[in-house]
Amino acid sequence: MDAMLLTSQLVNGLVLGFLFVLIAVGLSIIFGMLGLVNFAHGAFFALGAYFAWTLRPYVGDVGVLFLAPVCVFAVGVVAERLLLRPLYDKEPLLSLLLTFGLALFIEEAIRTIWGSIGHPYDAPDFLSGFVHYGPVFVTQYRLAVLGITVLLLIGIWLLLEKTRFGRIIRAGSRDGEMVNMLGVNLKRVFTLVFGLGTALAGIAGVLAAPLWSVVPSISEQAIMPAFVVVTIGGLGSLRGAIVSGLLVGISVALAIQFWPAASSAVMYLLMVAILLVRPRGLFGETWERFE
């Protein structure tokens, strides 16, 4: 087997895996804190790509990396305040159905505003070359995506583990009533957490835009891998999302290269195999809502 082909595909798998991790971490944070399975997460991912495509001519490639997720954050905050907040004390099924409807609404809004056809989105000019180092041959843009996602994940870990906001999130996921009694405005925290989760999906959408086509169905390319990653890793587990995201990304990338016909099915086979051994996922040993 060609060593260059294998190592290059492994790097591509890591890039794909870290993108899946970024999407899944947002989904996992929302589930861990709010106990909400957000079916609209893929739609927020698509919004990130479309906001980037729209804003790019005005603010440039670096500018959209910051501004597009902020726009997605704003949409997420409005959706949480107006639609989800009234349902927190209702049947969980209502929130589930609402996010499903919200996903359909956002996708149709995208088709109405930006059209049904795809839009070209090239990698930035300063990242359009290739890197050839030993047996690794990969585009500069993919390496940049790898570096950015790793930095973002470190930032998320620091936010959750080393800041007061992170401690409130972790405490609120275990005992929201106690946190409320300590004087913390839990509703405001819920809003910020939902906005943070959607912003992470938006960043992933911006980074994925040059790799995937910017089309309305881009949300479908994100939501199913995200659910598979969260399920394999264990619901609400940040550590599980990272490990399973990399597993899924590398498996899909290798399948694309060596068995293209199975590339769509390989992540589901991986999920079934792991759930047969560990029904709660790799890191889902406890029933805590957020580890």
Burial of 224 (0-12, 13-18, 19+ CB in 10 A): middle
| 133-166: b (≥16 Cβ within 10 Å) or e | eeeeebbebbbbbbebbeebbeebeeebeeeeee
C-alpha neighbours within 13 Å on the C-beta side of residue 183 = 0
Half-sphere exposure of 127 (CA within 13 A, CB side): 18
Burial of 2 (0-12, 13-18, 19+ CB in 10 A): exposed
Distances (CA, A) of 197 to 31, 74, 182, 208: 10, 12, 25, 17
Give the helix ranges, DSSP H, for the chain: 3-34, 41-79, 92-114, 140-162, 164-174, 176-181, 186-208, 218-233, 238-258, 266-277
Neighbours of 173 (CB within 10 A): 21
How far is residue 136 CA from its own chain's centroid? 27
- Look up tokens 């996921």; give the residue: 173
Token match 């739609």: residue?
Answer: 43
Residues of the chain with pLDDT under 50: 287-291
| Per-residue pLDDT, 285 | 59
pLDDT the model gives residue 291: 45
pTM: 0.91
DSSP state of 286: S
Q: What is the pLDDT of residue 68?
A: 96
> Using CA atoms, how far apart are residues 265 and 286, in angstroms rounded to an integer?
29
Which residues lie across from 214 on neighbouring strands?
A: 119
